[in-house]
């Protein structure tokens, strides 16, 4: 059997991607609930938590901080990304090549594709280059598959999310990151559409512990292999505590209520 491409960024087939590209995507506002988290060092430290199977960052943070963490953290280098300062039809600038990601020591690359955007065609072509570059360097490919754009009335509908999951499989992603579609059943459909590609749910905006862990648990029950999460971890007063609970829910399939008591 061929080795699973995402093995380097997973544990027992499950994964917890700590996402920290928010400084680019949303700006400093995301650090306000927990100001210490504006310091990337705090997040690289957090990524050494046992629950975290990779840390997703942009090139600049990898260059500045990864050399000190390469023995303890798996690097998922995000190759594209765009700030919130810019307005228009969803698009994302390619900021890094797969070759340079490999040079920086990345285990995997991440790439956003906004299916349905007026820029979908160029984004798919850019993804092709990133995906083939990653294959040449034995790095796993994680697609942030976020269908959105003026042609999509409801980008959070289960049908659109399933289509996003399928898009990841069709274009050659090993892991497809999708928004949580609202129920275990809908997540199960997305997982089915992704076939052999892993599906991870996106963390989203801050929710209370119980509601958040319940969604994660539903996603795992539905066949998702984990989560890619930023704000729901680093915006909390005690990020380590929610990582402990996520570890129990994702890797040990502990009930959310019990996981919170750990």
Which positions lie near ligand FBP, rule CB under 6 A? 19, 21-22, 25, 144, 146, 202-204, 228-232
- Measured distance CA(52)–CA(41) in Å, rounded: 15
Q: CB of residue 202 vs ligand FBP: minimum separation in angstroms? A: 5
Helix (H) or strand (E) holding 93, with range, is strand 93-94
- Measured distance CA(48)–CA(16) in Å, rounded: 12
Between 169 and 246, CB nearer to ligand FBP: 246
Candidates 14, 59, 78, 177; catalytic one? 177
Between 19 and 139, CB nearer to ligand FBP: 19
Q: CB of residue 154 vs ligand FBP: minimum separation in angstroms? A: 14
Q: By the 8 A CB rule, do 148 and 117 touch? A: yes
Q: CB of residue 170 vs ligand FBP: minimum separation in angstroms? A: 20
DSSP type of residue 13:
T
Interior CA angle at 122 toward 9 and 87, to 5°? 90
Between 10 and 92, CB nearer to ligand FBP: 92
Between 22 and 166, CB nearer to ligand FBP: 22
**Chain residue whose CB lies nearest ligand FBP:** 203
Q: CB of residue 213 vs ligand FBP: minimum separation in angstroms? A: 14
Count Cβ neighbours within 10 Å for each residue of 18-28 and write b for 16 or more, e otherwise. Answer: bbbbbbbbeee
Between 171 and 246, CB nearer to ligand FBP: 246
DSSP string, 189-240: HHHHHHTTSEEEEE--S---HHHHHHHHHHHHHTT--EEEESHHHHTSS-HH
Helix (H) or strand (E) holding 145, with range, is strand 140-145
**Residue 234 CA from chain centroid, whole number:** 14
Please confirm, yes or no, whether 210 is among the known catalytic residues. Answer: no
- Measured distance CA(56)–CA(62) in Å, rounded: 9
Q: CB of residue 255 vs ligand FBP: minimum separation in angstroms? A: 22
* Catalytic residue list: 177
């Amino acid at each position: 059997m061929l080795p699973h491409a995402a093995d380097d960024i997973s544990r027992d087939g499950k994964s917890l991607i700590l996402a920290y590209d928010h400084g680019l995507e949303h700006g400093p506002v995301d650090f306000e609930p927990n100001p210490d988290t504006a310091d990337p060092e705090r997040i690289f430290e957090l990524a050494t938590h046992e629950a975290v199977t990779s840390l997703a960052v942009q090139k600049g943070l990898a260059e500045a901080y990864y050399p000190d963490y390469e023995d303890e953290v798996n690097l998922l280098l995000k190759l594209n990304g765009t700030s919130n300062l810019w307005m228009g039809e969803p698009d994302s600038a390619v900021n890094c090549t797969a070759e340079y990601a490999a040079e920086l020591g990345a285990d995997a690359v991440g790439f956003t594709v906004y299916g349905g955007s007026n820029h979908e065609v160029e984004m798919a072509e850019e993804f092709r280059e990133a995906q083939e570059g990653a294959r040449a360097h034995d790095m796993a490919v994680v697609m942030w598959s976020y269908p959105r754009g003026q042609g999509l009335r409801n980008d959070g509908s289960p049908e659109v999310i399933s289509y996003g999951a399928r898009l990841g499989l069709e274009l050659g992603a090993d892991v497809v990151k999708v928004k949580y579609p609202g129920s275990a059943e809908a997540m199960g459909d997305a997982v089915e559409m992704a076939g052999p590609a892993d599906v991870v749910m996106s963390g989203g905006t801050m929710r209370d512990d119980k509601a958040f862990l319940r969604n994660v648990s539903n996603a795992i029950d539905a066949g998702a292999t984990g989560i890619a999460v930023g704000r729901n971890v680093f915006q909390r007063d005690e990020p380590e505590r929610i990582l402990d609970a996520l570890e129990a829910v994702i890797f040990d399939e502990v009930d959310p209520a019990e996981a919170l008591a750990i």
